[in-house]
Amino acid sequence: MNKMKRIFVSAILITVCVFKTFSLEQVYLDETRPIDERVEDALSRMTIEEKVAMLHAQSKFSSAGVPRLGIPEFWTTDGPHGIRPEVLWDDWDQAGWTNDSCVAFPALTCLAATWNPDMAMLYGKSIGEEARYRKKDILLGPGVNIYRTPLNGRNFEYMGEDPYLAAKMVVPYIQGVQSNGVAACVKHYALNNHEANRHTTNVVVDDRALYEIYLPAFKAAVKEGGVWTIMGSYNLYKNQHACHNQYLLNDILKGEWGFDGVVVSDWGGTHDTYQAITNGLDMEFGSWTNGLSNGASNAYDNYYLAAPYQKLIREGKIGTQELEDKVRRILRLAFRTNMNKNRPFGSLCSPEHIEAASRIGEEGIVLLKNENNILPINMNKIKRIAVIGENAIKMMTVGGGSSSLKVKYELSPLDGIKKRFGDKAEIVYARGYVGDPSGEYNGVVTNQNLKDDRTNEEILSEAVEIAKQADVVIFVGGLNKSSYQDCEDSDRKGLGLPYNQDNVISKLAKVNKNIVVVNISGNAVAMPWVEDVAAVVQAWYLGTECGNAIASVLSGDVNPSGKLPMTFPVALSDVAAHAKGEYPGKLRNDGTDIVDCNYSEGIFVGYRWNDINRITPLFPFGHGLSYTKFKYGKPVVSSNTMALDDKIVIKVPVTNIGDCIGAEVVQLYINDLKSSLPRPIKELKDFKKIKLEPKQTIEVEFTITSDKLAFFDDNKHEWVAESGDFRVLIGSSATDIRQTVRFKLSDDSIIASK
Ligand code: BGC
């Protein structure tokens, strides 16, 4: 270009910019215009500096808006069980606000255990309202990483081992949150299935397992839930960190699924400017944050997607195409959230939220065992109840990592039991064991003094004494939110209960047969004493209303209807990842700190593994008892053959044959009798939760379409349903199949959607 020409072009560009900046018609502010038009208008008004500023954090939990144009900052919050208390601008310590206590909802494992998508909607709507009231735009949750090993310290924040169940539960959660004009941020995408070496683990997994097991819940979040943001995980896949991963982000998420939202890095999950630019990351959070005292004037300027990005553009080493795409996505997010003038105002700690927390907790508690109908507790026969165990009194909403909360209140199991039974029976408490008396996370303290200076023998013998004299013993133990238990950044060291609890339970069971074990955990635990106790209740982390929810189930005010979202194995060697020796992976021999973790069990995760290896679990996936019983009648099928694009309707009558009202989760599994690639013996493909009065029958209807029969053919890179015989297994758990139906798929079909 000659000099005159250059001056001419520059003059035109400047005129366009000036015109745009001062243009009277601010299309981007006009809510009647389509979002994409508003995005283009806003984009055209922004300088490169303003664009880059939107791509990275400006504090621990916020990113910049465009002050000149009135485009607000984004405020994020953990997630996923309640709204995290305010921390300092540039530090994890508490900001010291007094208006930031929240309702703690039950942990996501409990939500999954309800097997009730209506509960997920209620959860999402309620937590979204809390986020909105606290002026947050992005809620960092829910998490849907598949339960591959019971050692994973973060399983309590996820939704179990089955991709279909997790997908069904995540969609309404997202819709509920986003109905508030608050973005859900589904995490941790993808393959973050344990915490050990979380920043350096490179997952090696075949495409079938990736598409059939590890991705479906994320895909449902995007395609059915319409989620607005997604968080990249810490680990690597195909040797690239998941936060800037060509395969996961560009090819699958944005390519195959057409995600039009924002990819947010996990805090400190970004490692490379060039990859962050080109491999699908949109917003970077938390790499290093001491921007107020150390280093450059503002450390956030040195983030991978900050000054280093601008430098590459300025030096002409990279164009602005990726930048424009990222900013378009972020602006779209703004119009969906903080620039949506019609979004509701939200509410905090409302009676409705407390009620929601308590309902979800009650529906998620799983009755694992109930010999001689010891539960519900019959108050006509009981004069004295012994409550034993640290978890009966320990606050569980503080700890566990980023999901730690500062709650308005948390009712302990002991207080819930006292409140419910205290006027009819004497309630005596003994500790039984001392686990972890501490109670602090990032400056939030429980204010509980759980120190006990007695010897273990003294503590145990006190418990045995009170157990001897009680009509019923309720042992409340399990795990807690300390490191190496149900806690971020570390995994459990084994399947067993910590703090010698097995011994305590066995000793108590010797002196009193009427012992009920309430296990509080987000993970399966070994139960070597299971034959010696009368009942076992899986109670998860229930949050604010913990004590009430447990007491409602123990008393029978609520008939338990939760079902396990994961298998409880007898031993770790029964779990595929451990049987294969593929946990936590192997350190590479090349001088790097990369640990390769080969998911060599492929698609055979959880009950799929048990089925092909004929392993009997301690408690199977989908298991959960009730105080009543359900009878499954003979199913009626609309046809015994199914053509491509056709469907089959199956109706199965289910009757409550007991004498109290109760709810059952009727589960439908598919068994492909012959296929060109190995398939699991059964796979969950539908379920319905129904509530029945005594003697009532409900006809449960399921529709089978060919997508429910398909597997991912990694050669074709397509979902394929092959012609041939199938069995439909209808049951009350993965090992309690009550009815089967056989039918034939007459044609092969390729299911379009990846
Ligand atoms: C966690 C995320 C969390 C983020 C912000 C990270 O350590 O992995 O789940 O949202 O911190 O607290």
CA 664 to centroid of ligand 1, rounded, Å: 35
Q: HSE on the CB side for 612, CA within 13 Å?
A: 16
Ligand 1 atom nearest 141 alpha carbon = 10
Report the first-to-last Cα separation within the chain, whole angstroms: 47
CA distance 461 to 312: 69
* Segment 80-90 mean pLDDT: 95
Report the candidate in 214, 203, 123 with the shortest Cα–Cα distance to residue 164: 214
- Could you report the per-residue pLDDT of 32-54, keeping only the tens digit for each? 999 999 999 999 999 999 999 99
CA 195 to centroid of ligand 1, rounded, Å: 12
Pairing of strands 472-478, 384-388: parallel
b/e 97-107 (16+ beta carbons within 10 angstroms → b): eeebbbbbbbb
Q: What amino acid occupies position 486?
A: D
> 139, 157, 192, 266: which to mutate for ligand 1, most atoms within 8 A of CB?
266
Cα–Cα distances (Å) from 89 to 59, 289, 434, in that order, read 5, 9, 37
CA 487 to centroid of ligand 1, rounded, Å: 12
Backbone angles phi, psi at 126, to 5 degrees: -70, -45
- Give me Rg for the CA atoms of the chain: 27
CA 401 to centroid of ligand 1, rounded, Å: 8
Q: Atom 4 of ligand 1 has which residue's CA nearest to it?
A: 267
> 402, 403, 405, 489: which to mutate for ligand 1, most atoms within 8 A of CB?
402
CA 502 to centroid of ligand 1, rounded, Å: 33
Report the candidate in 422, 512, 528, 405 with the shortest Cα–Cα distance to residue 466: 512
484: three-class secondary structure by DSSP: coil
Domains of the chain (ranges; CATH) run 2-58+88-336 (3.20.20.300), 365-558 (3.40.50.1700), 628-752 (2.60.40.10)
Q: Atom 12 of ligand 1 has which residue's CA nearest to it?
A: 402
CA distance 474 to 453: 24
Place of tokens 């199938």: 726
> 267, 288, 289, 441: which to mutate for ligand 1, most atoms within 8 A of CB?
267
Give the binding-site residues of ligand 1, using a 6 Å CB cut-off. 78-79, 140, 187, 266-267, 402
Ligand 1 atom nearest 234 alpha carbon = 8
Cα–Cα distances (Å) from 21 to 11, 28, 47, 68, in that order, read 15, 12, 10, 10
- Could you report the per-residue pLDDT of 488-546, keeping only the tens digit for each? 999 999 999 999 999 999 999 999 999 999 999 999 999 999 999 999 999 999 999 99
Q: Atom 6 of ligand 1 has which residue's CA nearest to it?
A: 267
Specify the DSSP class assigned to residue 57: B
CA distance 120 to 125: 8
- Could you report the per-residue pLDDT of 570-597, keeping only the tens digit for each? 999 999 999 999 999 999 999 999 999 9
Confidence (pTM) = 0.96
- Could you report the per-residue pLDDT of 146-195, keeping only the tens digit for each? 999 999 999 999 999 999 999 999 999 999 999 999 999 999 999 999 99
Q: What's residue 440's pLDDT?
A: 94
Contact of 559 with 604, CB cutoff 8 Å: no
Question: Which residues are part of the catalytic machinery?
Answer: 266
Contact of 55 with 282, CB cutoff 8 Å: yes
Distance of CA 439 to the CA centre of its chain: 24
Backbone angles phi, psi at 418, to 5 degrees: -60, -45
CA distance 509 to 744: 52
Place of tokens 């209506």: 118
Q: Atom 7 of ligand 1 has which residue's CA nearest to it?
A: 267
